[in-house]
Structures are given as structure tokens and as C-alpha cells.
Amino acid sequence: MKIIPSTTKCAKCESCGFEAYNEHVIGCKLELTFIRCRNCKTAVGVLEPELSSILIRDLAKKQGINLVF
């Protein structure tokens, strides 16, 4: 679990501390990373498990397609 320093405040408790927390969600095959308040644990965001652009580039390369990002 990473602690993310921030000057942004939680909408629920107004704490300024946030953390990245990995969790399995029912009905989802991937583990998701939630950004949540360190104090009250309210989720304020979700990160992709892997960057989509990297996955697309790797698939294109396997198909012989040259992508320019």
C-alpha cells in the first residue's frame, strides 16, 4: 500500500492523506487499484490495472502493425 501525499482534501472527511489500495471486485477478473482516503477509506478514484496504450502497442507489434504514439 502506497501513501500519496496531497493537498487535495477528501470530500467526506476533509483529510489530506490518500493511499493506493489493490482490491478484487466481485464480477471483475482483474484486481483494481483504488485511490482512497487514508482516514475514512472513501474511494476517490480507480486506476487501470495496466496501461491500455502499452497493451495496444504490444498487440499491434505482434500483428506487424507499426503504431506511432
Range of the structural domain that residue 36 is part of:
2-62
> 3-state secondary structure string, the chain?
CEEEECCCCCCCCCCCEEEEEEEECCCCCCEEEEEEECCCCCEEEEECCCCHHHHHHHHHHHCCCCCCC
Q: Total domain count for the chain?
A: 1
Q: Which three cell numbers stand for residue 19?
A: 493511499
What is the pLDDT at residue 62? 94
Q: Is residue 22 part of a domain?
A: yes
Q: Is residue 67 part of a domain?
A: no
The sign of the torsion formed by the CA atoms of 27, 29, 34, 39 equals positive
Q: Give the pLDDT means over successive 10-residue stretches in the chain (69 positions).
A: 73 93 87 93 87 82 85
Q: Is residue 69 part of a domain?
A: no
Q: Is residue 30 part of a domain?
A: yes
pTM: 0.61
